[in-house]
Chain A
């Protein structure tokens, strides 16, 4: 399934991939364990949602210091990792040096026209940006996604409005995404992450 293996630790199943170790992640049977409290993509997988990463081309927005992108790059064909905060980019670049098919970009995901000359059409858009206007970022980058490709948009309820109910926020983002995607699911990431959900969608033209 999707190039991701599963390992058992104390009766719990965790996703794991083969690849060079990046930080202090646990390695079981030669495979790097994706901990669901340290990676939202892992939390999503543990909650039963597939991410078809094997041989996929991925656009990763909000790559941070590169931990989850490094897992993706263990199985994907190409990962384009975009991050706009200077400090994490330094670490992202260090991680990218250990992965031949992880391409780091110090760029603003709200301005995709600035990296469209280099980023190819992708099978998967994965987005984890903590700024306001999360739906807007996914909409602006929708045209990179190939027909039938998947989008996973992490919604952090708190970065939008501290007073609103998280569920309302998730629905609002899901609704906005309908402009460019078919929304398939909204997955709450608790208990691994509070106030976070992932909107799972598909690009149809």
Chain B
């Protein structure tokens, strides 16, 4: 088997070797081999090339992996939304029919509904597994499904991380936002973040503040997820405190 540095130049050679070469671990003296082969004059020169190739290679590979993971999560949450709509629609239609007639052939339709519900649970399970890998802090603050919906609406974590929190706050309320901009409606106070218990569960007068607080913290979480990647539980604690204060205001 050729050594990786005999396969070509730098990062491309390394990439090819990491993807194609399967070798049992051994305590080999690769820098010495690299010099013996005549490809490098010194071991330092070999290490310099290895450094450049591993840095570039790892950067490229991880970007590809994040792209794939992100597309998976976005596709899954769009599928989940479609499944939910279909299940609700079918369910409603069958009920209406059953009310009108004594004997209707609904057994097959119910079976199809069961299958759709199973598919929905599977899809939700997939999102719950993948979203925390892609966006650990957002998932910790808002749950996997809402996190996935926000990423899908923004068109990716990268775009979400660049948005101001006022935009994140109304993601999913585009119709209402455009009506407002045309002058026909009040400005929307929340988009899909409405489903967050901290927004939905806050008394109506303070709901706008709650939505702003949730959106603000989620925006920070998206940036940490995009640019740092480590889980910071204090973000959730800070949001807890903020919501407590907002809800307390209504009681005064």
**Residues of chain A having any CB pair with chain B under 8 Å:** 65, 78, 85-93, 96-97, 100-107, 112-122, 140-147, 149
Contact = CB atoms under 8 A, between A and B. Distances in A.
Interface string B110-128: 0000000000000000000
Given A96-B55, A100-B51, A121-B27, A88 B229 contact: yes
Interface of B is mostly: helix
11 contacts: A86-B62, A86-B229, A93-B58, A100-B48, A104-B54, A105-B54, A106-B62, A114-B22, A121-B26, A121-B27, A121-B28
Interface of B: 1, 3-4, 14, 17-18, 21-31, 47-48, 50-51, 54-55, 57-59, 61-62, 65-66, 69, 133-134, 136, 225, 227-230
Contacts of B58: 89, 92-93, 96, 104-106
A101 B229 CA distance: 24
Nearest to A97: B55
A16 to B, nearest CB: 24
Given A87-B136, A121-B29, A65 B229 contact: yes
Contacts of A112: 25
Contacts of B21: 116-117
Contact of B25 (A90, A91, A116): A116
Contacts of A65: 228-230
A92 to B, nearest CB: 7
B20 to A, nearest CB: 9
Nearest to A64: B230
B51 A117 contact: no
Contacts of B18: 105, 107, 114-115, 117-118
Nearest to A103: B54
Contacts of A97: 55
A118 B13 CA distance: 11
Nearest to B22: A113
Interface-central residue, A92, A96, A100, A104, by most chain B CB under 10 Å = A104
B205 to A, nearest CB: 39
B4 A141 contact: no
Nearest to B34: A120
Contact of A117 (B17, B57, B133, B229): B17
A114 to B, nearest CB: 6
A113 B65 CA distance: 20
Nearest to A77: B47
Contacts of A90: 59, 62, 227, 229
A144 B27 contact: yes
A86 B51 CA distance: 19
